């Protein structure tokens, strides 16, 4: 395997989507978001064919361009999708790579008064935008969502809240059982907040953003 990228058999279109629901979000994070849409080999050769779609969402602290990160002796995720479709080992589909990063690390892909309306962004802005511009099969039975960690949580919760949009999901190490996973750490977190940041969440996040922690 070569230690650098190889040409895709399909095509990755890189867009920027200006979101109205993220405009003025509580954290002041960008409301113009990158959005990648991958179309499989043969998409441009068969203009009458429509495709199922899979939405890929990232884990906590994930940013869209991290999907291109390369591990030793392994293709990155876009290349793995492309190889799978080129080989014919899986039916071709459109893959949508969605960014819901926040300056606190992530959004859990939910609407929150603390971070912004990221669930609405995904469901009511991204999905219609993709369906309007690409030859998707727009029924829920032909639209899935997948993610790992916080993305796995989002992949579980989104179809539960919007079964009118998503008919399938894949969750990889999805966040769950928060009371068991995180509640025991609250004591240590509260002490650290008290001892190092005067009990102030604002001081803690200012330190995180500045890298001085």
List the pLDDT tens digit at each of the 213 positions of the chain.
677 888 999 999 999 999 999 999 999 999 999 999 999 999 999 999 999 999 999 999 999 999 999 888 889 999 999 999 999 999 999 999 999 999 999 999 999 999 999 999 999 999 999 999 999 999 999 999 999 999 999 999 999 999 999 999 999 999 888 788 778 888 888 898 899 999 998 888 888 878 766
Q: What is the pLDDT of residue 213?
A: 60
Determine, yes or no, domain membership for 125: yes
Q: Which two tokens stand for residue 101?
A: 């990063």
Q: What is the pLDDT of residue 138?
A: 97
Count of domains in the chain? 2
Look-up of token digits 């095509």: 11
Q: What is the pLDDT of residue 209?
A: 79
Please state, in angstroms and rounded to a whole number, the distance separating the CA atoms of residues 147 and 169. Answer: 9
Question: What 3-state class would DSSP assign to 90?
Answer: coil
Please state, in angstroms and rounded to a whole number, the distance separating the CA atoms of residues 86 and 47. Answer: 18
Q: What is the pLDDT of residue 211?
A: 75
Residues 171 and 182 occupy one common structural domain: no
Domain hosting residue 127, numbered range: 11-176
Please state, in angstroms and rounded to a whole number, the distance separating the CA atoms of residues 100 and 121. Answer: 9
Residues 96 and 194 occupy one common structural domain: no
Determine, yes or no, domain membership for 5: no
Residues 134 and 212 occupy one common structural domain: no
Residues 60 and 128 occupy one common structural domain: yes
Question: How many CB atoms within 10 Å of residue 19?
Answer: 22
Q: Collect all residues with Cβ–Cβ distance below 8 Å to 185 and sequence separation of at least 6.
A: none
Q: What is the pLDDT of residue 38?
A: 98
Please state, in angstroms and rounded to a whole number, the distance separating the CA atoms of residues 140 and 54. Answer: 11
Entry pTM: 0.90
Please state, in angstroms and rounded to a whole number, the distance separating the CA atoms of residues 166 and 131. Answer: 13
Question: How many CB atoms within 10 Å of residue 96?
Answer: 23
Q: Which two tokens stand for residue 138?
A: 């727009």
């Amino acid at each position: 395997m070569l230690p650098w990228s190889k040409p895709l058999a399909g095509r990755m279109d890189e867009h920027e989507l200006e979101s109205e629901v993220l405009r003025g979000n509580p954290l002041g994070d960008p409301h113009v978001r990158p959005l990648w849409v991958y179309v499989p080999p043969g998409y441009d050769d068969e203009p009458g064919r429509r495709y199922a779609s899979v939405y890929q969402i990232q884990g906590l602290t994930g940013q869209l361009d991290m999907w291109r990160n390369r591990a030793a002796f392994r293709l990155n995720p876009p290349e793995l999708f492309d190889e799978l479709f080129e080989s014919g080992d899986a039916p071709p589909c459109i893959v949508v790579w969605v960014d819901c990063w926040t300056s606190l690390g992530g959004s859990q892909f939910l609407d929150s008064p603390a971070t912004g309306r990221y669930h609405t962004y995904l469901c009511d802005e991204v999905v219609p935008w993709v369906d309007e511009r690409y030859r998707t099969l727009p029924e829920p039975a032909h639209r899935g969502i997948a993610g790992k960690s916080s993305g796995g949580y989002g992949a579980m919760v989104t179809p539960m809240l919007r079964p009118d949009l998503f008919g399938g999901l894949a969750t990889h190490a999805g966040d769950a059982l928060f009371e068991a996973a995180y509640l025991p750490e609250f004591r240590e977190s509260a002490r650290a907040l008290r001892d190092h940041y005067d009990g102030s969440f604002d001081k803690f996040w200012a330190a995180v953003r500045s890298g001085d922690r």
